[in-house]
Amino acid sequence: MSNEKTSTLLEAIREGIREEMSRDDSVFIIGEDVGTYGGAFKVTEGLLDQFGTDRVIDTPISEAAIVGAACGAALMGMKPVAEFQFIDFISNGFDMLTNYAAKSRYRGCGGIGAVFRGPCGSGVRGGPFHSLNAESFFLNTAGLKMVEPSTAYDAKGLIKSAINDPDPVLFFEHKKLYRLPRLKEELPDEDYTVPIGKARVAREGKDLSIITFGAQTLNALDAAEKLEEEDGVSVEVIDLRTLAPLDREAILETVKKTNRVIVLHESSITGGIGGEISAIIGEEAFEWLDAPVIRIASIDTPVPFAPQLEDYYLPNLDEIVDACRKLAAY
Partner 1 sequence: MDAPKKPLSCTSETSLSKDQVIELYRFLKLTRMFDEKTVRLKKQGKLTGGVFTSLGQEATAVGTAYALEEKDFIAPLIRDIGACFVKGIQPREIFLQYFGRGTAPSRATDVQFHFADLDKGFVGPISHLGDMIPVMTGILLASRMRKEDRVAVAYLGEGATSTGTFHEGVNFAAVQKLPLITVIENNGYAYSTPTRMQCAAGAFVDKALGYGIKGMKVDGNDIIACYEAMKEAVEHARSGNGSVLIEAMTYRRKGHAEHDNQAYVPEGEIEWWAEHNDPVKRFERYLKEKKILSESEMEAIAAEIREFLDKESDAAESGPLPEPLDAAREVFDNSVVPPAFRKKVLER
Residue type for 214, please? Answer: G
Q: Which is nearer to partner 1, 111 or 127 (CB)?
A: 111
Helices and strands per DSSP (H, E), number in the chain: 11, 14
Q: Closest Cα to residue 320, out of 284, 293, 295?
A: 295
Active site residue 130: yes
- Shortest Cβ 163–partner 1 spacing (Å): 15
- Shortest Cβ 249–partner 1 spacing (Å): 13
Local structure of 128: helix, strand or coil: coil
**CB contact at 8 A, 118 and 147:** no
Q: Which is nearer to partner 1, 67 or 90 (CB)?
A: 67
Q: How far apart are CA 230 and CA 218, in angstroms?
A: 18
Q: Which is nearer to partner 1, 70 or 251 (CB)?
A: 70
- Shortest Cβ 55–partner 1 spacing (Å): 7
Q: Of how many residues is the chain composed?
A: 330
List interacting residues with partner 1 (CB under 8 A).
25-26, 28, 30, 54-55, 57, 59-60, 62-78, 80, 95-96, 99-100, 103-111, 142-143, 145, 166-167, 245, 283-284, 286-287
Which residue among 130, 156, 174, 295 is the active-site one?
130
- Shortest Cβ 60–partner 1 spacing (Å): 6
Q: Which is nearer to partner 1, 62 or 301 (CB)?
A: 62
**CB contact at 8 A, 81 and 29:** yes
Q: Closest Cα to residue 163, out of 115, 118, 119, 196?
A: 115
Show the CA angle centred on residue 89, arms to residues 309 and 313, nearest 5°: 15
Residues identified as active-site: 130
